[in-house]
Structure 1
């Protein structure tokens, strides 16, 4: 295992390995869990070198309190990664990632992907995501980059950015890892109170039930049912439940062919905001 904090040192190490080595990249914000490890294992199996970044990116947080409360567990993360001897950890400072400050970063046009769901509820979020991922791609220069499907809209945004910039790399989509009760693994889960964690288990239940209703109910009926289920908990607060096209993420009025519908949800479980989705 190698650990770097400086761009220069990381790039010197990668360059010394030679131009013929394939590089896989796993971007994270730390607070690692088995979902991240599944990305890492896939990357290690498919590349000569794998860089895993740990960086809480301030430009993608539209809520300062959310940025403040996001878990930072670098010592635990490094300990978890020690069993993966071939991983290259890159944990830079904000100044290292943005040496010229935030103001000189590019603005992206992801329309219409960023106008709905997370984009509507978190203004500027995806522009911040695009900025930091582009910066890391420039630093690491990977042939493949690995992202989890839990952040379905983010995955679509990253693919769009790579296409816009004609980047010579492959974006690898990886299945969502889940807890035994179905809750999607997330770094934010560790901030859940015991009560919030209990109620959060309703999220995957609602998604799976919504999927099963697809042949019998209209899109609007399923959305109304799902909203009612979340409200009926008396604890969870719904930001949105949407059924969208898997490619352009626009809200559906009628069902697409099988495999082209995605139900996306964002819920507050106490003070912790959780997202999830299911494709069907």
Structure 2
């Protein structure tokens, strides 16, 4: 596995692959890798001849007061895990390498409307930072396919919209969420949870599943369903940011006429902000 920290070396390596007509898959991460990330890499190996993984804790997607300084960084362990799944290239740049003009003087990419909903309301500027860094990385790696987990469903839609609007010749491949036996979605921020909180955290997924089952049974008062689950989470010690039933395609608030839905939630438990979602298709009455 090649480990590269410079833009020039990355470009040169990818150029060599292209001369050999090899296809390239890309998995962008912020490190502190877990089985969910490795599952993305395994899927990437299936889809392309070469796999690039980036590990970069991107400062522009953290709002003031968020956990940028405390975010878990485990570069040696990350490299070892990626070797174990036969990654071809690990790109580990510094902030100065990707933002040479400094964070205050960089060009930003922003996806309107989608970035303002849900997590965007509670993390101002977050998705602008995400769109910007993914745009830069797409330009550097120039992959045929890029893989993203469905746990970050809003992020997935934003990246798809950005790639389409800016005409990136890259296929965005979504990979289902990897979960622990309890149902808890794997996340780098799960390391913030105590042992007791980790057991408790699985309630978020159960609440999403209960809401989905209620809708499948024919309940159409989505606001009532949302309130019930928020109250359940609050009673268990969570601090919910939102619990919302949305249209799957564009995250607009869902109505009785919508069949393809996604239920999304974000809630704090101790120091960890947990996000998760469940998608469902309901039959419309005729």
TM bucket normalised to smaller: over 0.9
Q: Distance in 2 between matches of 1:227 and 1:255?
A: 24
Counterpart pick for 1:256 among 255, 258, 275 = 258
Q: How does 1:162-173 map to 2 (within 5 A)?
A: 162-173=163-174
Q: How does 1:1-280 map to 2 (within 5 A)?
A: 1-19=1-19, 20-214=21-215, 215-217=217-219, 218-233=221-236, 235-254=237-256, 256-257=258-259, 260-280=260-280
Q: Distance in 1 between matches of 2:105 and 2:24?
A: 28
Aligned-pair CA distance for 1:194: 1.7
SS in 2 for 1:110: coil
CA contact (8 A) 2:242 2:267 kept: yes
Aligned-pair CA distance for 1:106: 3.3
With over 3 angstroms needed to count, the CA separation of the structure-2 counterparts of 1:18 and 1:116, relative to structure 1, is closer
CA RMSD of aligned residues (A): 1.3
CA contact (8 A) 2:182 2:199 kept: no
TM-score where L is the length of structure 2? 0.93
SS in 2 for 1:82: helix
Unaligned stretches of 5+ residues in structure 2: 281-286
Aligned-pair CA distance for 1:109: 4.3
- Offset from partner CA, 1:45-71 (integer Å, 9 cap, x none): 111111000000000001444112211
TM-score where L is the length of structure 1? 0.95
CA contact (8 A) 2:150 2:174 kept: yes
CA contact (8 A) 2:61 2:129 kept: yes
SS in 1 for 2:232: helix
CA contact (8 A) 1:192 1:272 kept: yes
Aligned-pair CA distance for 1:107: 3.6
- Offset from partner CA, 1:115-154 (integer Å, 9 cap, x none): 2101111111111001100110111111110000000000
CA contact (8 A) 2:41 2:87 kept: no
Answer with 55-64 or 109-118: which moved more.
109-118
Aligned-pair CA distance for 1:186: 0.3
CA contact (8 A) 1:219 1:255 kept: no
Q: Distance in 1 between matches of 2:218 and 2:249?
A: 24
- Offset from partner CA, 1:203-246 (integer Å, 9 cap, x none): 1110111110003322112111111110121x211111011111
Aligned-pair CA distance for 1:201: 1.2
Q: Distance in 1 between matches of 2:115 and 2:106?
A: 18
SS in 1 for 2:115: helix
Moved over 4 A (4+): none
CA contact (8 A) 1:197 1:269 kept: no
Matched residues, number: 277
